[in-house]
């Protein structure tokens, strides 16, 4: 009887939390906002409070706590890292940063390298597990990882933090956002640097790592039905590496990621028909240095998108 009473009490206590989850808005399933109870796929949300509580440096360390997610990493933080969802290949995980597809066209199979994606000013991550090719194409056979920076605050707001620790590791970030008149926007900057440890077996030479990330958003609401969205994200990473056997002072890798989005939003027929026309741009530059000389790869993905959603009644929506 005691066990039954405790279980019933726990169930009753959990009911408000379940109700709150159903009210949560998910955008990854169809690329448009939906209440969770209308989403037919398995979606896990890592929100700002969770990111702040766990204090993980790398986004992939947050993803690893989600059921159905596995990853492989070459070496230490900053090394090439692939993420697999529900047993699919790492090349079958579609990755979005602020709505832009960032799968690397300069790599084999368009796999996105999570090695240089740090938590920085990331405010929300949605992980959709299972195929979603209808909405996103063949790259989403395994699922979708949607990474989002913060939305501009009402009025003005700012945050900043600095951490310092082992191996002269410095982790700092700051952001500011606000709204005034028709404009709302924000900018953020994150910096991570560590002396690191040797990546070589039995090595003693330190392999340092530096990561700089910047993000910006601007929205101009010209009318209640017409608005312009501008978004940008940039990552620069510099990693010292070894050949895996002995220390090396010449081996290193550098990468630069550029993400851009410009979208025009228009609502018609009293909001029943919403239209979004956008241009997205992603570029990855990867450069390597070794005893055999420098080499590198570059890839660019330019996309033109249109999305129309018609909702004649609350119970029906056409996309």
The CATH number assigned to the domain holding 60 equals: 2.170.130.10
20, part of any domain: no
Secondary structure letter of residue 174 according to DSSP: E
99, 116, 265, 274 from 271: Cα distances, Å: 22, 40, 11, 6
Query: Coil, strand or helix: which one is 216?
Result: strand
CB 189 within 8 A of CB 214: yes
275, part of any domain: yes
DSSP 45-95: EE-HHHHHHH--SBHHHHHTTSTTEEEEESSSTTS-EEEEETT--GGGEEE
- Domain count within the chain: 1
2, part of any domain: no
89, part of any domain: yes
Instruction: Kindly tell me the burial class for residue 306, based on how many C-beta atoms sit within 10 Å of its own C-beta (0-12, 13-18, 19 or more).
Output: exposed
Backbone phi and psi for residue 7, each to the nearest 5 degrees, phi listed first: -65, -40
For residues 199 and 208, what is the distance between their CA atoms, to the nearest angstrom? 10
191, part of any domain: yes
Domain ranges, residue 62: 25-318
Instruction: Kindly tell me the burial class for residue 256, based on how many C-beta atoms sit within 10 Å of its own C-beta (0-12, 13-18, 19 or more).
Output: middle
4, part of any domain: no
pLDDT (0 to 100) of residue 36: 76
Per-residue pLDDT of the chain (319 residues; tens, 9 = 90+): 333 333 333 333 333 333 345 568 777 766 777 777 777 778 889 999 999 999 999 999 999 999 999 999 887 788 889 999 988 899 999 999 999 999 988 877 889 999 999 999 899 999 999 888 877 888 889 999 999 998 888 889 999 999 998 888 999 999 999 999 999 999 999 999 998 777 766 667 777 899 999 999 999 999 999 999 999 999 999 998 766 666 666 788 999 999 999 999 999 999 899 999 999 999 999 998 887 778 899 999 999 999 998 988 877 778 7
Secondary structure letter of residue 102 according to DSSP: -
5, part of any domain: no
1, part of any domain: no
């Amino acid at each position: 009887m005691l066990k039954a009473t405790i279980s019933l009490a726990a169930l009753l206590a959990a009911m408000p939390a379940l109700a709150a989850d159903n009210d949560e808005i998910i955008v990854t399933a169809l690329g448009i906002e939906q209440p969770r109870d209308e989403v037919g796929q398995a979606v896990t949300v890592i929100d700002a409070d969770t990111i702040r509580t766990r204090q993980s440096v790398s986004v992939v360390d947050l993803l690893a706590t989600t059921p159905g997610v596995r990853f492989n990493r070459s070496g230490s933080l900053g090394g090439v890292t692939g993420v697999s969802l529900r047993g699919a290949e790492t090349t079958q995980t579609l990755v979005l940063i602020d709505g832009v597809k960032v799968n690397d066209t300069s790599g084999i199979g368009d796999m996105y390298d999570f090695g240089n994606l740090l938590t920085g000013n990331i405010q929300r991550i949605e992980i959709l597990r299972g195929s979603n090719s209808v909405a996103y194409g063949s790259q989403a056979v395994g699922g979708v990882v949607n990474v989002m920076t913060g939305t501009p605050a009402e009025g003005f707001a700012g945050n900043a933090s600095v951490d310092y620790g082992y191996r002269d590791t410095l982790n700092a970030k700051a952001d500011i956002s606000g709204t005034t008149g028709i404009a709302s926007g924000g900018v953020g900057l994150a910096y991570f640097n560590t002396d690191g440890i040797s990546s070589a077996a039995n090595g003693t030479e330190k392999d340092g790592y530096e990561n700089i990330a910047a993000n910006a958003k601007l929205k101009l609401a010209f009318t209640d039905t017409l608005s312009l969205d501008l978004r940008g994200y940039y990552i620069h990473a510099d990693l010292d590496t070894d050949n895996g056997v002995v220390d090396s002072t010449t081996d290193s890798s550098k990468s630069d990621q550029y993400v851009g989005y410009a979208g025009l939003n228009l609502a018609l027929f009293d909001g029943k028909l919403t239209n979004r026309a956008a241009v997205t741009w992603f570029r990855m530059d990867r450069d390597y240095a070794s005893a055999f000389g420098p080499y590198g790869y570059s890839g660019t993905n330019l996309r033109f998108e249109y999305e129309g959603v018609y909702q004649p009644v609350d119970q029906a929506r056409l996309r």
